[in-house]
Structure formats: C-alpha cells, structure tokens
Structure 1
C-alpha cells in the first residue's frame, strides 16, 4: 500500500513536470516563462481594414482621397461681355447647353470645393444643368434661377447656394473688372472658402457621399491613322458655337471660341482642355412659358471623343436625380478615359449643327439629329419665322441708317463748303486740298448710305419713319 502511494506520488509529480514544461517537450522553451505562455494562448485581434481612398468621382483620377466629399456645381454667365470666365481650367467637368434664348448656358463641376480659387461670373441656375448636377449629390451654386430650376429644387427639398438670397456671404464683386468696362452682372464671383461660409448659414455641409460620373478605366491607345475625330464644332445657334481640337502632343481636346480665339481662364490665362468630349443628343421643344427650352432627358444617342477617335454611344437617365448611364454601340457599359470632360447637350433643332473631321480632314458621318418633341418648332416653320424676323430687322436697320446719315449730312456739307471756301482763297495749299477731298468723300458716303437704304425701304413699301423693333424670344442667359 505504501509503495502504491509512493508510485502515485511519483506519477503526480511527473505529470506536473510535464504540464509545466510541456512547451519544452513539444515545441521548445517558452520565451518568457509561464506568463508568456498564458499570453500566447489569448486570441490575436484582427487589424481593422482601412478603406481604400476614393478617386476623383468626376475624372476617375486618384490624385487625392475624395471619400465623403460632395462636388460643387457653379453656373457661369455666357452672354456677351461675360468672357473670359474665372475657374474654367480648375473645373473637372464643363456642361453646356441652350436653356433660354440662343446662347448656351454653362456649368462648371468641381469634385473638391477647395480647388476653386475663383469662379465666375456666376450666372442664374437652370433646370437643364441641375439634371446633371443633382445625381452627383453636388451643391448647386448660382445667382438667381428660373422658375423651373426653383420648382425642381423645392420639389426635392434640395439645398442650393443662391446669391440672390445669401448675398455677399458667399459671393464677391470684382471692382477692377467693372472698372475695365464689364457690366455689373459680369463681375460677381465666388471662391471655395466663400462657398463653405455661405453653406454654413444654412447648416449645410460639403461632407457626404458622391457618385462617379462615369465608369472610368484605361482605354487602348489610338493609332495616328485611326484618328477620325480631331476637330469638332458644336453649333448651339448661329451666334454661339464651340470648337474642340485634338492636340496629339498632349492627348487633350483644346477649346476655342466661335471667333477662333482660345477659351481661356481669366484666373490664370490657361486654355481650357479636356481628355473626353461628349455630345448628348436630346429631343427638344419649348416649355409652357414659350421660350425656355425643354428636353427629353431620359435618353438618346450621342458622340464620345477621346484620344483623337470617336464612337457613337447611347445614354439613359431615369429622372432628375438618376445618374447618367452610358453604353457603347454593342450595349456594353462605356469605359471612359480618366481625365477632365466637356459635355454638350445638343437638341439638333433649327440653327444648331455638328461637324466632325478626322486627322486627314475627312468629314465624318454622324448619327441623325434627334427628333423634336411635340412642342418643338419644325425646321420649315422656324426658317419662315427667321426670314420674317430678318426682313423686319433689315427694315429697322435701313431706317436707322437713313436717319443717322441724314442727321450727319448737314454738318458734313457745311464742312465741305468751308473747306472749298478756304481752298478758293489758297488754291495751291495741299493741306486744304486734302481737307476738301476728305469732306467731299464724307458727303458722298452719307448720300450713298441714304440712297442704298432708302431703296430697301421703298422695296418694302415703308417710309423712313421709326418702326418699333420686332418682338423676339427672350435672350436671357441659357
């Protein structure tokens, strides 16, 4: 019995040794004794995965983290005297299309408000432009807006930043620009800091989700021989067109104005350029006010230019807040090159046009223009109305020319008589001869102006009395 107890005691002692020194038998000695063994037995916490930085939702370029960063959409004025505008070169996207009158309105989209050093002159908000800004969760920035833009924002309870209400809390006046001869409405601008300050008055923040404008990805390089889209002209009206020309050395489309001058940023003098150019065909008509353009923005065909080449695309959009969806000719999601974009909304109605040429100068055959909405005016009716307007305007111009010439003629004749009288006393004076000939030329020119324009009035069966100007559609900014 005693031997048995001793044996049990030895067995227990051996078991204790095995338990305490088990790591040395099965896996080597512990690094720091029993405490280290106990700690190693605890489960190791998995590291919290870090979210990948979001690339720029408007360009697809990973130049910063755009997580929780709402874009900003600034409407810029485009009527006579508004150019050059501030903030064009820093914009990620420019959107242009006729909303009212015959001049296209313009919106600059910025993925990061802090990239706006100066943007303007700030124009009135338009519902056409909002249709592309709202799906991005962008903050609309403008000074005043038309009733359709106001109704859209009110229906959606969507907060904008309107200088008509917020005033100098978010907008400033450039006195130097006015001193240089610009009209007052073309001198108001904003900055990223002022936009933040203005929104704080509404308790609105620029923190929030953003939605990529396109599906971005690398596209195969375009061979020089395949560059069939090197020069695009988008005509919004006979007096308003945009040219975009491909520069092979940069791979960008540079923008020029209707007169061929470069479209530059007033803030830094840089010419505006884009990696991508889109023309979205949209059936159009007239809204119930009789002059604001109406568009079917549920979808249509279009053009996509990049790398010097073009292809036909199809686009769809569910509603005002629905994102823009682009597919290629095969119905597959369109992959867009990372970079800045220019988007033209084009109705193809009377007075609008598109031309596209390749590197060899060959003019491309483009998709047929979109059909008009029921409220649209046919080309024939529009041409007849234009002809009637032009005829009335010709009469008005002729009347004005006759009146102005008749007003100047007495003084011109007096100057001629005085010059001739002086020459009669000193017939060899070369200066007096030149003065007499100059006075004679002015009198002859005025008489010819009167005769030419009186003939126009006679043909139209009207007198030279002033005639009220013909009424025309409002030419307020689109």
Structure 2
C-alpha cells in the first residue's frame, strides 16, 4: 500500500497522527477537489463541480457591475409637499403572532447529541459507549447495531473494515456485537463524542493512547474483561464475543468512570431544527453510494419511500440479527483522511487531526465540504478531544438531518474511486 512514510513516534498528549506518522501531505489533491476528479468518479460528481464553480463565479461577479474608477453621480432630489387627509377611523395592524420554538420539548426531554431527536434527559446526558464491531463476513449478522445512532467504518489491515457503533439507548439490549479489537484511529473518533470506548484487545500501536488518563475504555483483555463481555457457542472465536447493557453498566462502575457528559459538552453534529429537512437541493445526485472498500464491498441505496439510505455489503442487505431488519440511515458522510502504512503487516494509521474534505449525502443528494477539529471546543485544551466539525465551501458549519448517521472514513488517495450517482 502507498501512504505515508511509516515511522512510529511515541505518543505525546495532543500530538496528532500526522506528525507522529510522518504522513505524506495530500493537500494538493484536496485543494484540487473542485477541478481534478477522475472520469471514474461518474458524471454526477462532475456536475457537482460545475455547480460549485458557477456559484463561486456568481459570488465573485456580484460586485463587478461597475468600473472601479467610475464615480457615482449624485442624483437630484425633488421635494414635493403633499397634503394628506387625516382618516376619521384609524385601524391599527394586528400584532404578529409569536412563532413557536420548533425545538421546544416537554419537561425532562432534550435533543440527543447523537441523533438530534428528542430523548429522555437521563439518556441524552449520559456518555455514550463506542463499541468496536466485527465486520468480517463470518461475523454477520451483527447484533444490536441498529440501535447505534452513529456508525463509523474504517479500513484496517488487509483491506477489511471494522465498524464502531455509538450507543446511547441500550438499556434493554442483552447482546451487542460481536466485539473486536482496537485500532488507534477509532479511539480518536470516540473521544469526539466523550464516549466510553469498548474493545476486545488492541493493536500494539494503540497501547500508548489507551493508557492516557483522558481515555476511558473497557477492554475485554483488561481489568473489566469478565465483567463486560461474554462468549457465545454459536460461532467460533474470535467472532463470538459480545457485551450487554448489564455488562456495560458493571464495567463502568468497576473502573469508576464518569457516567455523564462533562460540563460544557456541546456535542459533535449541528442538527437542523426539528421542523426542518435538509435536502441538499443545490447538490448532485447521490441515490447510490459506493465507498469502495475492497473486501466487504458495501453500498448504500436511497429509499424514496422511507427517505433513508439502506445499507448493503457482501452482496446483500446488512441486517441486525436481533430485529431481522436492514440497517438504514438518514445521513451518510464520506470523510477523507490522510493515512499511512505502519509496517509490513499492513497496520494503518489515519490522520484524525489535520482536516480534509467530505461529501455529505442525504435525501438522495450530496454536497461537498470540509472537516476539521474544533480546537476551541477541546476539553481542557486537549486537541485529541476536540470534535470534528463539517463545513460547506463558504466556511459555514453544515446542518445535517435529525436521525441516524453513517460515516465512512476513506483513504484520501482513493478519492477518485468513489461512486456517487
């Protein structure tokens, strides 16, 4: 694999993966996003480029109607005296009705940091759990994944992918998984959500980060192993490790982790008002999405009836074993990160700090934007805990639809291999 020059440097607090792994800077490719797509990216992407260029040109030309050296001539003003007749009856205009706050909720309710939808305050203020999920074909179907409001997918070694689900409403779940081992970049993502990170073992490169005092994790091969996790007999190891609501609660209490969000936590996403729908109407078609992961070959198809994206992989629908239903999402975000290969075993690193580009897909359309860490929101000034925000091409933070979100983190060198049509 071609990526950055791999050289492992010992972790230092707040030090990003870009610095630590000496990744090659693909900024030229990022800067050329609007003009340098490969023909393989399909016609719809080129249409998006044209639209963006047109809008940029319109913005630049808006103030070009006059010659800079041309002086405006003052217009003569003619004052005319008009005698008005006083009406005998003066009707006062009716006062405007005050608009009701679309986000007003009943007492004891709040908007979820993960979905934007109303949830009980006890659930919404509780730290979510970020659980590593086995995505090998032998581990399908997963259990409980449909209850994750946010799911991340990254490539790990050998071209396979691993998922991480963020769960806030899991109290009635007896089976979540199967659970697999940690990769460092997933930890950085979990930190964005102030989540408690759950995994069964880890790669060597993640050991230093997991040892930091700002990382709260439940490790199946660590102190909380027997408390949090159990094995089933219906599948062979390593595809048979699961957790449950009871196990999660017991593990958190055993290790004494903070259970609620810290004071001042603002969440990661900017959700639209509850009475609003984002349509991406000025974007391009994204009724079919292929992130181009090589092994599971996933794709998303927009379902006109539900207004959501249905998820497929390994040649068919991806379902939740507990419900028998296909996974579906309101938002699909393709996030491009710099990356590096760390060793001959194909372990990877992703730069989760330096920023890059995104494609935001919703309601069958996509728009182009950027991602970067919101350093001003970093807890205790720790950049590792700063949430990633998404911005449009004018620099405004992107509003996304309320509901479930699937984020595909993609190697930035694979930008022109993605299908959106």
Please state which band the TM-score falls in when normalised by the shorter chain. 0.5 to 0.7
Give CA-to-partner distance per residue, 1:409-466, whole Å, 9 cap, x none: xxxxxxxxxxxxxxxxxxxxxxxxxxxxxxxxxxxxxxxxxxxxxxxxxxxxxxxxxx
1:114 maps to which of 167, 171, 189: 171
CA 1:226/1:280 → structure 2, altered by over 3 Å: closer, same or farther?
A: closer
| 1:36-115 matched pairs, under 5 angstroms | 53-65=109-121, 66-114=123-171
Note the residue ranges of structure 2 that are not aligned, 5 or more in a row. Answer: 1-105, 376-382
Note the residue ranges of structure 1 that are not aligned, 5 or more in a row. Answer: 1-49, 358-478
Q: State the match for 2:237 in structure 1.
A: 184
User: Retained in 1: the 8 A contact 2:114–2:150?
Assistant: yes
| 1:241-390 matched pairs, under 5 angstroms | 241-259=297-315, 261-287=316-342, 291-297=346-352, 298-317=354-373, 318=375, 319-349=383-413, 353-357=417-421
Does 1:171 pair with 2:226? Answer: no
Does 1:146 pair with 2:199? Answer: no
More helix by share: 1
User: Retained in 2: the 8 A contact 1:236–1:352?
Assistant: no
Shift of 1:242: 1.2
2:252 maps to which of 186, 190, 199: 199
| Distance in structure 2 (CA, Å) of the matches to 1:150 and 1:289 | 19
Structure of higher CA gyration radius = 1
Q: How many positions carry a matched residue from both structures?
A: 301
Aligned to 1:172, the other structure's residue is in SS state strand
CA 1:183/1:249 → structure 2, altered by over 3 Å: closer, same or farther?
A: same
CA 1:188/1:140 → structure 2, altered by over 3 Å: closer, same or farther?
A: same
User: Retained in 2: the 8 A contact 1:122–1:190?
Assistant: yes
Does 1:136 pair with 2:193? Answer: yes
Q: State the match for 1:380 in structure 2.
A: none
Task: Considering Cα pairs closer than 8 Å and 6+ residues apart, tell me whether 1 or 2 has the greater RCO.
Answer: 2
| TM-score when normalising by structure 1 | 0.59
| Distance in structure 2 (CA, Å) of the matches to 1:208 and 1:224 | 35
| Distance in structure 2 (CA, Å) of the matches to 1:299 and 1:330 | 16
Shift of 1:101: 2.3
| Distance in structure 2 (CA, Å) of the matches to 1:233 and 1:241 | 8
| Distance in structure 2 (CA, Å) of the matches to 1:345 and 1:82 | 21
| Distance in structure 2 (CA, Å) of the matches to 1:90 and 1:302 | 25
Does 1:212 pair with 2:267? Answer: yes
Shift of 1:330: 1.4
Shift of 1:55: 1.4
Q: State the match for 2:21 in structure 1.
A: none
Give CA-to-partner distance per residue, 1:47-75, whole Å, 9 cap, x none: xxx99743111111113224531010000
User: Retained in 2: the 8 A contact 1:70–1:139?
Assistant: yes
Give CA-to-partner distance per residue, 1:300-358, whole Å, 9 cap, x none: 0110001111100100025421101110121111011111000010004479931011x
CA 1:334/1:346 → structure 2, altered by over 3 Å: closer, same or farther?
A: same
User: Retained in 1: the 8 A contact 2:198–2:218?
Assistant: yes
